[in-house]
Chain A
Amino acid sequence: KAGVTQTPRYLIKTRGQQVTLSCSPISGHRSVSWYQQTPGQGLQFLFEYFSETQRNKGNFPGRFSGRQFSNSRSEMNVSTLELGDSALYLCASTYAGTSNNEQFFGPGTRLTVL
């Protein structure tokens, strides 16, 4: 069974641009969560999508958005990039809707904002 796939793996953007990251969950998984990992703030929850609906949102500005498609693939978008958005963005997929199920993490997308 293929694992969680994230594309692209590396991305370099400049301030003010926007970026879209993609996450393909494990086949059959309906929930995708996104996390931002930085040296200063650690791992922070961005949002979770379950069956195409955003169920939970972390404390991030509205520049961060996401969506989930009917095949459970998810995208997150960051508009008007700032230097502080440089981070490793991880997505995690799980079969069901509560955290007492194992979440499988992808390798992440490393975003660098110049």
Chain B
Amino acid sequence: AQSVTQPDIHITVSEGASLELRCNYSYGATPYLFWYVQSPGQGLQLLLKYFSGDTLVQGIKGFEAEFKRSQSSFNLRKPSVHWSDAAEYFCAVGAKEYGNKLVFGAGTILRVKS
């Protein structure tokens, strides 16, 4: 069965500092991997996705993520955080065999200090 672990429930970074949010997944075959962001009271917005190919993927809002098969990880990074990045971030895994079903991690709440 698929599973996703986001080990950090809360992270606080200073504005302008770099950010890395961790995500580990468990799935036997080749997963489809996603990062979503959710602002309070809002739905989910896709930041980036990985299906195959280049393991470093670029997303919106200056985010990137790197797929590391050997570590079963898909960590999200941003070189310089803006106050507007404060939100909750979810890593998710899907697979061809499961249609459009996504399994989400528990989320990481990002707080940005000014």
Contact = CB atoms under 8 A, between A and B. Distances in A.
Asked whether A and B interact, the reply is yes
A45 B99 contact: no
A48 B100 contact: yes
A112 interface: no
A44 B3 CA distance: 11
A107 B40 CA distance: 10
A56 B105 CA distance: 19
Contacts, number: 73
Given A4-B43, A107-B42, A102 B49 contact: yes
Interface residues of A, number: 28
A100 B94 contact: yes
Given A42-B106, A100-B32, A100-B51, A107 B100 contact: no
B45 A97 contact: no
A65 interface: no
B106 A105 contact: no
Contacts of B101: 33, 45, 48, 56, 58, 99
B107 A42 contact: yes
Tell me which of B44, B92, B99, B100 has the highest count of chain A C-beta atoms within 10 A of its own C-beta.
B100
Given A42-B107, A43-B90, A45-B103, A99 B46 contact: no
Contact of B46 (A31, A48, A90, A103): A103
15 contacts: A42-B105, A43-B104, A50-B100, A58-B101, A90-B43, A90-B44, A92-B100, A94-B100, A97-B100, A102-B46, A102-B49, A103-B46, A103-B102, A104-B46, A105-B36
Given A44-B104, A45-B101, 20 more contacts: A35-B102, A42-B105, A43-B92, A48-B100, A50-B100, A56-B100, A90-B43, A97-B99, A99-B32, A99-B99, A99-B101, A99-B102, A100-B94, A102-B49, A103-B46, A103-B100, A103-B102, A105-B43, A107-B43, A108-B43
Interface of A: 4, 31, 33, 35, 42-45, 48, 50, 55-56, 58, 90, 92, 94, 97-108
Interface of B: 32, 36, 41-46, 49, 51, 90, 92, 94-96, 98-107
